[in-house]
C-alpha cells in the first residue's frame, strides 16, 4: 500500500484524481509549470512541485523530472491522468524502474495499443472487426493514392502513434492527398514524436461509440456499457452520453463483448476504452484503444455508481475488481458537455484569458469537474478545457432538460466559452431526436444560434462592464426596481480613459485601422506558435490561400489570405511565437504599391 501519489498532470483531471485519493486517505502531490503557479490543481494538492517552464516539452513531458519529483516527494505511486504522458510506455517503465507503482496499464499494453497499426494487426488476429485499411504505415503519397484507387475515397489518414483526435486528415479526392499526408505526418511528429501514418476507409456519418473496460491482474475483464461520443469538431469530442441512443441491449452485449476480447488480446490491466465506429447498418468496427482514463469517464461513473479512479487504484494495488459483469447495472442517462475556452464565432479558435467571474451550476443530478475558479487563468499553453459539466437523469430527455438548466446556471466571465454553443446544440431537433447531427456543429446555423443564446447570468450585475462593439462606449448592467419588481438594465456610458488607451494600443499592435497595416495586413487570430509558413515575400496568392499554420492550445489553425495579391513584409517563421493580432504579412492588391 502506498500512502502518497503524484499526479503527473494538471487542470481538472488532476483535481478529480486528488479527490478520490483523499477519500482513500492517500496523500496528494501536484506538479506544475511556471505557467501554472496559480492553478487550482496546485492549490488543491497536499504538496506541489515546480517542474519547468510553460512549454509542455520542458515540464509536463519531462519523464526524468517527473520521476525525480515523485522520489523527492516520497510518493509511492504515479497516476498519469490523460493526455501528456498518460499513454507513454517509456514513462510507465521509468516509474516502475524507480520502484514506484504505476496506476495504469502494463507498459507492454500501452506500447501495443500506442501503435495504431500494431493494434489493428493484433485485433484482427484476435477476431475483433477493424475498419478496412492498412495495418502497416503508409510511407508515401503514391501509396496513399494507390489505396484510394483500391478501396475508394474518402479516406482517413491517421497518425500511427496518435490519439485524442490529433494527426487525422480526411482525403476526399486525389488532389487533397499531398497536403493531407504532409499535415498528418507533421502532427504525428509534433504531438507524438512519430511521423508514421496509416490509412483507413472513412466511414461517412457513423456513430462514435466506445466501450469502457476494467481489467485486473487476476484475469477478470468486464465492460461498463458504452458511451456515445458522436458530437465532435475536428475529431475532438464535445458532448458525450451514455447509454447511446442507437444501442439496444442486444447490441450493447455484442460491442461490450468486443471490448472485453480486445482488452484480453492486449494483455490489459486497469481502466481503458475501446473506441469504435457504429455504422447505420449496425456494423461495429474497432478503431483504437485508449490506455488511460478518458475525459468522458464521468458519464459512466454516474450511471454505474462506480468511481473509476478508485478502481484504478485498487487494481494497481493488486486487488481484484470490486464487481463482476453480472453485477454491472446502468441506471438512467448521463450527458457530459466539455466547457472549453473557444470562440464559436471565430471558428472555435482558442480563447485563453483570466477568469474574472465564475459560478458553477448545482442541484439534483449535476456534477462539475473543473480546473479553474475566479481569479485564475485559462492558459494558452495547454488544452482549452475549463471544466466538464455532467448531468444524470432518469432517461435521455430528462438528462437533456437538466443539462440545459445547468448550462443556464453556469457563469464564466473572462474567456469566451462553449456554453452558448452547447445550449444551441442541445435544443436542436437533431440532438433531441438522438441523431448524429452530421455537419451541424461547424455550420453557420449553429454559430448564429449560439450568438443569440450568448447571454450569461450575472450574479453581481452592478459590477459587470462590457465593451460595446464599437469600442467607444461601455455597457454597465445595473439593477433597478419598478413598482416592487426588480429589473436588470444596460446603461451605455462613455469609454473610460484606461479602456480607450488599451484599445488604441491594440489597434497599433495590429497595424492601425487602415493602410498597409490594417486593410492589407494578415494577422494572427490567436496567441500560439507558427508550425509552418506556406508563402514567401513576393508570392502571388489567391483569397483563401493558406499563409501559415499556427498551433494554439493543442490545435492547428490555418491563417488564410483575405484577398488576392502579392505577399510582402512576411515577418514569421516556423517555431516563432506570435500573439493575437500580430501582423504576419501584408498583401498588396493588384496595381497597389506596398506603401
164 pLDDT above the threshold of 70: no
Asked if the model's pLDDT at residue 298 lies above 80, the reply is yes
**Helix (H, G, I), strand (E, B), or coil: what is residue 507?**
helix
Give the domain-ending residue among 103, 123, 141.
103
State which H helix or E strand residue 487 sits in.
Answer: strand 485-494
CATH for 184: 3.30.1490.20
Q: Is the pLDDT of residue 21 over 80?
A: yes
pLDDT of 569 over the 60 cut: yes
What gap in Å lies between CA 282 and CA 429, rounded to an integer?
Answer: 23
> Is residue 448's pLDDT more than 80?
yes
Angle at 524 between CA 519 and CA 526, to 5 degrees: 135
Element (H, E) at 150: helix 141-151
Q: Residue 141: its pLDDT value, please?
A: 95
Q: What are phi and psi of 231, to 5 degrees?
A: -75, 105
Which grid cell sits at 587? 498583401
- Mean per-residue pLDDT for 154-169? 85
CATH of the domain at 34: 3.40.50.20
Residues 485, 583 within the same domain: no
Query: pLDDT for 471-501, tens place per residue?
Result: 456 566 678 888 888 887 877 766 555 455 5
118 domain-assigned: no
Look at residue 428 and tell me if it is in a domain: yes
**Could you read off the pLDDT of 249-274 as tens digits, one per residue?**
999 999 999 999 999 999 999 999 99
Both 516 and 536 in one domain: the answer is: yes
Position 473 in a domain: yes
Binning pLDDT at 50, 70 and 90, where does residue 192 land?
A: confident
Averaged pLDDT, 419-446 = 94
- Judge whether residue 133 has pLDDT over 60: yes
- Average pLDDT of the residues of the chain: 89
Give the domain range for residue 493: 461-498
**Rama region for 270: left / alpha / beta (φ>0; ψ in -120 to 50; rest):** left
Banded model confidence at residue 321, pLDDT cuts 50, 70, 90: very high
pLDDT at 419: 97
What's the pLDDT band for 554 if we cut at 50, 70, 90?
Answer: low
pLDDT of residue 93 exceeding 50: yes
Residue 26 shares a structural domain with residue 73? yes
- How many domains does one find in the chain? 5
556/383 Cα distance (integer angstroms): 12
Which range is least confidently modeled, 58-72, 157-171, 338-352?
157-171
Instruction: Work out the number of other CB atoms within 10 angstroms of the CB of residue 455.
Output: 9
DSSP codes of every residue in 104-143: SS-HHHHHHHHSHHHHHHHHHHTT--B-SB-SS---SHHH
Q: How far apart are CA 329 and CA 224, in angstroms?
A: 8
The reported pLDDT for the residue numbered 510 is 43
Is the pLDDT assigned to residue 462 strictly greater than 60? no
Amino acid at each position: 500500500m502506498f500512502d502518497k501519489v503524484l499526479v503527473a498532470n494538471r487542470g481538472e483531471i488532476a483535481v478529480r484524481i486528488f479527490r478520490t485519493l483523499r477519500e482513500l486517505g492517500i496523500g496528494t502531490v501536484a506538479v506544475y509549470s511556471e505557467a501554472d503557479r496559480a492553478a487550482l490543481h496546485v492549490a488543491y494538492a497536499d504538496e506541489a512541485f515546480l517542474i519547468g517552464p510553460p512549454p509542455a516539452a520542458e515540464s509536463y513531458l519531462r519523464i526524468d523530472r517527473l520521476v525525480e519529483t515523485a522520489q523527492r516527494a516520497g510518493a509511492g505511486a504515479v497516476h498519469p491522468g490523460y493526455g501528456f504522458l498518460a499513454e507513454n510506455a517509456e514513462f510507465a517503465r521509468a516509474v516502475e524502474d524507480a520502484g514506484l507503482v504505476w496506476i495504469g496499464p502494463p507498459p507492454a499494453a500501452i506500447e501495443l495499443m500506442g501503435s495504431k497499426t500494431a493494434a489493428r494487426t493484433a485485433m484482427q488476429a484476435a477476431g475483433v472487426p477493424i475498419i478496412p485499411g492498412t495495418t502497416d504505415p503508409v510511407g508515401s503519397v503514391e501509396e496513399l493514392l494507390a489505396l484510394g484507387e483500391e478501396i475508394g475515397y474518402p479516406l482517413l489518414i491517421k497518425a500511427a502513434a496518435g490519439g485524442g483526435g490529433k494527426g487525422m486528415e480526411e482525403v476526399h479526392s486525389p488532389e487533397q492527398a499531398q497536403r493531407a499526408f504532409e499535415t498528418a505526418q507533421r502532427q504525428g511528429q509534433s504531438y507524438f514524436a512519430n511521423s508514421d501514418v496509416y490509412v483507413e476507409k472513412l466511414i461517412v456519418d457513423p456513430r462514435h461509440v466506445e466501450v469502457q473496460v476494467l481489467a485486473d491482474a487476476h484475469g477478470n475483464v468486464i465492460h461498463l456499457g458504452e458511451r456515445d461520443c458522436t458530437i465532435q469538431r475536428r475529431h475532438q469530442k464535445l458532448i458525450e452520453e451514455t447509454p447511446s441512443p442507437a444501442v439496444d441491449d442486444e447490441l450493447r452485449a455484442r460491442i461490450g463483448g468486443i471490448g472485453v476480447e480486445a482488452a484480453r488480446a492486449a494483455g490489459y490491466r486497469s481502466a481503458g476504452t475501446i473506441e469504435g465506429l457504429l455504422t447505420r447498418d449496425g456494423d461495429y468496427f474497432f478503431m483504437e484503444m485508449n490506455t488511460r482514463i478518458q475525459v468522458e469517464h464521468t458519464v459512466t461513473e454516474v450511471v454505474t455508481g462506480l468511481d473509476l479512479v478508485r478502481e484504478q487504484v485498487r487494481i494497481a494495488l493488486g486487488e481484484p475488481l470490486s464487481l463482476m459483469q453480472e453485477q454491472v447495472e446502468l441506471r438512467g442517462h448521463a450527458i457530459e458537455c466539455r466547457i472549453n475556452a473557444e470562440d464559436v464565432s471565430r471558428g472555435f479558435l482558442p480563447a485563453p484569458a483570466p477568469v474574472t467571474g465564475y459560478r458553477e451550476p448545482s442541484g439534483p443530478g449535476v456534477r462539475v469537474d473543473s480546473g479553474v475558479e475566479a481569479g485564475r487563468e485559462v492558459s494558452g499553453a495547454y488544452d482549452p478545457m475549463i471544466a466538464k459539466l455532467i448531468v444524470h437523469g432518469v432517461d435521455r430527455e430528462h438528462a437533456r432538460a437538466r443539462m440545459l438548466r445547468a448550462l443556464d446556471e453556469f457563469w464564466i466571465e473572462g474567456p469566451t466559452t462553449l456554453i452558448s454553443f452547447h445550449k444551441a446544440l442541445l435544443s436542436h431537433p437533431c440532438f433531441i431526436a438522438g441523431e448524429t447531427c452530421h455537419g451541424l456543429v461547424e455550420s453557420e446555423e449553429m454559430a448564429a444560434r449560439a450568438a443569440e443564446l450568448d447571454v450569461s447570468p450575472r450574479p453581481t450585475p452592478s459590477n459587470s462592464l462590457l465593451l460595446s462593439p464599437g469600442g467607444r462606449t461601455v455597457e454597465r448592467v445595473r439593477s433597478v426596481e419598478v413598482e416592487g419588481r426588480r429589473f436588470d438594465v444596460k446603461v451605455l456610458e462613455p469609454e473610460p480613459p484606461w479602456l480607450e488607451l488599451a484599445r488604441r494600443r491594440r489597434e497599433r499592435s495590429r497595424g492601425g485601422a487602415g493602410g498597409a497595416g490594417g486593410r492589407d495586413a494578415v494577422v494572427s487570430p490567436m496567441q500560439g506558435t507558427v508550425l509552418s509558413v506556406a508563402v514567401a515575400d513576393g508570392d502571388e496568392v489567391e483569397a483563401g490561400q493558406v499563409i501559415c499554420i499556427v498551433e494554439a492550445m493543442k490545435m492547428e489553425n490555418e491563417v488564410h489570405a483575405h484577398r488576392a495579391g502579392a505577399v510582402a513584409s512576411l515577418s514569421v517563421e516556423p517555431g516563432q511565437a506570435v500573439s493575437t493580432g500580430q501582423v504576419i504579412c501584408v498583401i498588396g492588391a493588384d496595381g497597389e504599391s506596398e506603401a
